[in-house]
Amino acid sequence: METEIREKYRTAGRILAEVLAEAGPRVELGASLLDVANFVEGSIRSKGAKPAFPCNISLDRNAAHYTPSPNDTARFGENMVKLDVGVHVDGYIADSAITVDLSGHDKLVEASRSALQAALEIIGPGTDTAQIGKVIEEAITGYGYKPVYNLTGHGLSRYLAHDEPAVPNRAMEKGTVLKEGDVIAIEPFATNGSGRISEAQNCEIYGLSAMRPVRLPAARTLLKEISEEYKTLPFARRWLQAERAEYALMQLLRSGSVHKYPVLWEVEGALVSQAEHTVIVSDKGCEVITRSI
Ligand code: MN
Ligand code: MN
């Protein structure tokens, strides 16, 4: 990897670690989800970077992809809160998540955290992602819980928040062998439920699929805003500036220009915890770029 690119990843990771450290204590009983999301995204920008995707604040059974709506009034109760944040510098992305537990389920939080730690310890050139899945599953089942089987970690590349390879959270027959310079996000999810997630109805996050022709001027304006501002990175409905953005967004969905990232929730309604770091595979092991030093 070129030094210049590595430095951009490191900057993104350092900023992300700072922002998560500042945001974590703001997740408290009675605080507004929208305030926390605005704080996170504003703080990323004030440090000279950009959000790589909307601040995800997923509660309890929601494993991922909840972000506040434009006028969201939700406040934290006794919830298990996953704060999942992405930062990019010139398209080079760092992705990291913590669980702030207001629900009194320390062990479930500890399960995903220690699974992440176990995975980080074995990553280096030549490590098979199947092996990473195995240590994650073993760590979580060791606590008496299940990993979320159908959510994975992933590769990261320029302006692509989810690239190959998938990094499983369970033992697999065969995976992908990692090599020096690979950038991957490891994100174990632990649950006291069945270990399966599915798509919920709620959706506040979208992404560009293709630049399809659209007739409506408002839709064309919005498509321009999205493609210039976010490129292929996910964006929030509450970020949209264009006039008649709601209506235009519906047109872009219909034309196939934009796709949805619906909330992903545990099928039985059980609690889910998450821990995530981004690493660059190095000559001997890996460099965790999202850890505060
Ligand atoms: Mn993430
Ligand atoms: Mn991720």
pLDDT band at 191 (very low <50, low <70, confident <90, very high): very high
Ligand nearest to the CA of 169: 2
Angle in degrees, 0-180, between the axes of helices 106-122 and 129-142, rounded to the nearest 10 = 150
Q: Treating both helix axes as pointing N-terminal to C-terminal, what angle do 33-46 and 3-23 enclose, rounded to 10 degrees?
A: 150
User: If you average pLDDT over residues 51-68, what whole number do you get?
Assistant: 98
For the question of residue 276 being annotated catalytic, the response is yes
Q: What is the mean pLDDT of the chain?
A: 97
Active site residue 259: no
142 alpha carbon to ligand 2 midpoint, in Å?
23
- Active-site annotation holds for 84: yes
Q: 229 alpha carbon to ligand 2 midpoint, in Å?
A: 21
pLDDT at residue 241 is higher than 90: no
Q: Pick the catalytic residue: 41, 60, 84, 110?
A: 84
In this predicted model, what pLDDT tens digit does every residue of 134-172 receive, in sequence order? 999 999 999 999 999 999 999 999 999 999 999 999 999
Exposure string of 44-53, with b = 16+ CB inside 10 Å and e = fewer, is beeeebbbbb
Indicate the class that CATH gives domain 205-260: mainly alpha
User: Is residue 174 pLDDT above 70, yes or no?
Assistant: yes
| CATH number 3.90.230.10 given to 3-200+268-288 | yes
Burial of 150 (0-12, 13-18, 19+ CB in 10 A): middle
The domain segmentation of the chain, as residue ranges, is: 3-200+268-288, 205-260
Closest CA relative to residue 111, chosen from 133, 129, 134, 138: 138
| Ligand that comes closest to the CA of residue 53 | 1
* Ligand closest to CA 65: 1
Q: How far is the CA of 200 from the centre of ligand 2 (A)?
A: 19
pTM metric for this prediction: 0.97
Whether 128 is a known active-site residue: answer no
- Ligand with the closest atom to the CA of 279: 2
Residue 60 amino acid letter: D
User: What distance in angstroms lies between residue 95's CA and the mean position of ligand 1's atoms?
Assistant: 5
Cα of 262 from ligand 1 centre, angstroms: 15
Q: How far is the CA of 63 from the centre of ligand 2 (A)?
A: 12
Residue of 95, 101, 110, 204 marked catalytic? 95
- Per-residue pLDDT for 202 more than 80? yes
Q: Find the 234 Cα to ligand 1 centroid distance in Å.
A: 12
Where does the pLDDT of residue 1 fall: very low under 50, low under 70, confident under 90, or very high at 90 and above? confident
One fold for both 3-200+268-288 and 205-260?
Answer: no
pLDDT at residue 293 in the model: 63
Distance (angstroms) between ligand 1 centre and the Cα of 85 equals 6
